[in-house]
Amino acid sequence: MEFFFDKNKAKKQKEPYGKLASQQKMRLAMAFLNPLRPIINESWSNYGEGKKSKAFGQALRKVIQDAIEGKYPDQLIIPGKVMISMGALPLSPITDVVRSASNLAVFYDNQAHPMAKNGDEVVLVAFSPEIGIGAKNDRVCYRKDGHIEVELPVQFEKNTFHAYLFYHNKKRTSFSKSYYLGYFEPMD
């Protein structure tokens, strides 16, 4: 007689497909957002009830829900769908993005908007999840200026990076949604 079932025989346990897919999504989102943690803690604070860990968790949830595409094991993050800041302040339309070897300049429309003030500050963020670094502008620029230009850290001259732009008020209590400027290759 041939046995087809034996409760004493150890079963070979496979990880459930859904569990592996969820774990990969979490790893991808964490690796992408981790260099941005200080920015996210501040810019998502209204959505995290003022707590940094909750703010980061909300941003992480948003990435997992909206910015990861593909089926396991071929999942990937779509950087243009990642929101590194969230809020009600309006974004100005971007007119041009210019990259040189050591600078990144963004030109935007500075027309008046009922919900925006000329004194809203502009934040330009460049980061590379591959090398694990992120940087933001150290000089204050305002919505009324119509452009922002930053000197890039030397690490970005020979590595790829992503760039985002967003606004906040002077008190840093109101933020705009972030705008993805693009993926920049090293300059030769």
Q: Which residues of the chain have pLDDT under 70?
A: 1-7, 11-15, 50
Q: What is d(CA 184, CA 128) in angstroms, rounded to the nearest whole number? A: 10
Asked if 106 and 138 sit in the same domain, the reply is yes
Q: Whole domain around residue 31: which residue ranges?
A: 16-84
Residue 121 lies in a domain: yes
Q: How many domains does the chain have?
A: 2
Domain final residue, candidates 58, 84, 110? 84
Residue 8 lies in a domain: no
Domain final residue, candidates 84, 107, 141? 84
> Which residues are 84's β-sheet partners?
none
Asked if 109 and 178 sit in the same domain, the reply is yes
